[in-house]
Structure 1
Amino acid sequence: MPHPSPPRGAAARASHETARLLAFDTSTERMAVALVAPHGAWTADEPGGALASAALLPCVHALLARAGMALADLDAIAFGRGPGAFTGLRTSCAVAQGLAFGLGCPVLPLGSLLIVAEDARIQRAPQDAAFEVDVAMDARMEEVYAGRYRWTEGRWQELAAPALYTLEAFAAMAADGPGAVAGSALAAFGERLGLAPQRARVPTEHERAAALLRLAQAAHAAGEGVDAALALPLYLRDKVALTTREREAVRAARDAAAEAPR
Structure 2
Amino acid sequence: MTPLLAFDTSTELLSIAVEADGRILARDEPGGPRASALIVPAIVDLLREARIELGDLAAIAFGQGPGAFTGLRTACAVAQGLALGAGKPVVPIDSLLAVAEDAREGATRLRVAVAMDARIEEIYAGEYVYGDGVWAVARAPLLTNAAALSARWRAEPPEVVAGSALAAFGAALDTGAARRVPGAQPRAAGMLALARRRLESGGALDAALALPVYLRDKVAQTVDERAAARAAKASRP
Distance of aligned partners of 1:164 and 1:54 in 2 relative to their CA distance in 1, 3 Å threshold: same
Residue 77 in structure 1 maps to residue 56 in structure 2: no
The structure number with the bigger radius of gyration is: 1
Residue 111 in structure 1 maps to residue 90 in structure 2: no
Specify which of 165, 168, 177 is matched with residue 188 of structure 1.
Answer: 168
2:133 alignment partner in structure 1: 154
Q: What is the deviation of 1:209? A: 2.8
Give the structure-1-normalised TM-score.
0.83
Q: What is the deviation of 1:165? A: 0.3
Question: Using the alignment, how far apart are the partners of 1:247 and 1:217 within structure 2?
Answer: 42
Moved over 3 A (4+): 246-262
Distance of aligned partners of 1:258 and 1:195 in 2 relative to their CA distance in 1, 3 Å threshold: closer
Gaps of 5+ in 2: none
Q: What is the deviation of 1:224? A: 0.9
1:56-205 to structure 2, matched below 5 A, reads 56-122=39-105, 126=106, 128-175=107-154, 176-196=156-176, 198-205=177-184
Residue 40 in structure 1 maps to residue 19 in structure 2: no
Identical amino acids, percent of aligned pairs: 52
Give the structure-2-normalised TM-score.
0.91
Question: Using the alignment, how far apart are the partners of 2:229 and 2:148 within structure 1?
Answer: 21
Specify which of 18, 28, 33 is matched with residue 11 of structure 2.
Answer: 28
Question: Using the alignment, how far apart are the partners of 1:261 and 1:114 within structure 2?
Answer: 28
CA contact (8 A) 1:140 1:253 kept: no
Gaps of 5+ in 1: 1-17
Q: What is the deviation of 1:116? A: 0.7
Structure 1, residues 154-186: CA drift from partner, whole Å, max 9, x if none? Answer: 100000000000111111222342310000000
CA contact (8 A) 1:140 1:257 kept: no
State the secondary structure of the residue aligned to 2:137: strand
Distance of aligned partners of 1:137 and 1:50 in 2 relative to their CA distance in 1, 3 Å threshold: same
Distance of aligned partners of 1:206 and 1:27 in 2 relative to their CA distance in 1, 3 Å threshold: closer
Question: Using the alignment, how far apart are the partners of 1:237 and 1:108 within structure 2?
Answer: 23
| Paired residue type of 1:144 | I
2:217 alignment partner in structure 1: 238
Structure 1, residues 124-153: CA drift from partner, whole Å, max 9, x if none? Answer: xx1x43100100000011110000000011
Distance of aligned partners of 1:48 and 1:261 in 2 relative to their CA distance in 1, 3 Å threshold: farther
Question: Using the alignment, how far apart are the partners of 1:121 and 1:189 within structure 2?
Answer: 22
Q: What is the deviation of 1:65? A: 0.8
| Paired residue type of 2:23 | G
Note the aligned Cα RMSD (angstroms): 2.4
Structure 1, residues 97-117: CA drift from partner, whole Å, max 9, x if none? Answer: 111111111100000001110
| Paired residue type of 1:188 | A
2:189 alignment partner in structure 1: 210
Q: What is the deviation of 1:68? A: 1.1
